[in-house]
Amino acid sequence: MQQASDWDLVARAQKGDLDAFTLIVNQYKMRLFGYILRMIHSREDAEDILQEVFLRVYSSLARYSPQYQFSTWIYRIAQNLCIDHLRRRKLSTFSVDEKFGSEEELTLELPDESMSPESIFESNAVKQEVEEAIYELPVKYRSVIILRHIQDLSYEEISQIMDMPVNTVKTHIFRARRILRRRLQDAI
């Protein structure tokens, strides 16, 4: 959805147009659900959090300022709710206080194979392992990986959502890729 359309829909929704708000929900629900599901790894909880996102959006529309992209604002709400949910679950984390190599070390190239039943099975197994490895990342790294590589957001958009400088976003992505590479080296 284009930014101008978001602003138009938000302006209409701020004036009480429920059809405009329904269009906002329809435009964002699948992308947000995918992000939330990958963050918390529970379909039921993701559905609950998605509903909470839209409740918060609706109740906060009067305070939304067009100086910010609507998409980053709504993702920020989703991210905060995911983090709150994860804190309540008290997931264990680990430290990654080590020096990292160059970005070139993180390049993975997979050979192009025909889609035989065996390769389809292996592909699904690898996909599942990658999903699990992403879920096991510390939340700050999981968030940037999902926003960048699955939601296909720019570094600048991620910077706004995460409320951190672009260089920090890039560093987090680099470190997350490094962790994923280590965890997945046997699977890939």
End position of a domain, from candidates 66, 89, 112: 89
- How high is the pLDDT of residue 183? 86
Domain at 145, CATH number: 1.10.10.10
pLDDT grade, residue 167 (50/70/90)?
very high
Whether 97 is in a domain gets the answer: no
pLDDT above 60 (res 79)? yes
To the nearest whole number, what is the mean pLDDT of the chain? 81
Do 135 and 165 sit in the same domain of this protein?
yes
Asked if the model's pLDDT at residue 22 lies above 80, the reply is yes
72 and 42 housed in the same domain: yes
CATH number at residue 29: 1.10.1740.10
For residue 94, tell me if it sits in a domain: no
Q: Tell whether 76 and 109 lie within a shared domain.
A: no
pLDDT at 151: 87
Residues 148, 78, single domain; the answer is no
**Same-domain check for residues 77 and 114:** no
Give the span between the Cα atoms of 85 and 44, in whole angstroms.
12
pTM, two decimal places: 0.64
CA distances from 86 to 62, 75, 106, 116, 140 (A): 28, 16, 28, 39, 12
Query: Within a domain: residue 63?
Result: yes
Residues 119, 169 share a domain: yes
Task: Decide if 95 is inside a domain.
Answer: no
Q: What is the secondary structure of 19-46 as a DSSP string?
A: HHHHHHHHHHHHHHHHHHHHHH--HHHH
What domain range is 174 assigned to? 103-184
Please tell me the total number of residues recorded for the chain in this structure: 188
Look up tokens 């070390």; give the residue.
105
Q: In this structure, is residue 146 part of a structural domain?
A: yes
Alpha helices in 41-153 (DSSP H): 43-60, 70-89, 117-136, 139-145
Q: Does residue 96 belong to any structural domain of this protein?
A: no
Q: Band of the pLDDT at 117, cuts 50, 70, 90?
A: low
Contact assessment for residue 49 and residue 137, using Cβ atoms and an 8 Å cutoff: no
Question: Is 145 contained in some domain?
Answer: yes
CB atoms within 10 A of CB 24: 22
The pLDDT-based confidence of 74 (bands split at 50, 70, 90) is: very high
Do 56 and 121 belong together in one domain? no
pLDDT band at 51 (very low <50, low <70, confident <90, very high): very high
Q: Which of 146, 155, 145, 153 is nearest to 177 (CA)?
A: 145
Is residue 112 assigned to a domain? yes
Residue 106's pLDDT band (boundaries 50, 70, 90)? very low
| Per-residue confidence (pLDDT) for residue 96, from 0 to 100 | 47
Q: What is the pLDDT of residue 55?
A: 94
More confident residue, 113 or 20: 20
Question: Domain tally for the chain?
Answer: 2
pLDDT at 99: 44
pLDDT band at 158 (very low <50, low <70, confident <90, very high): very high
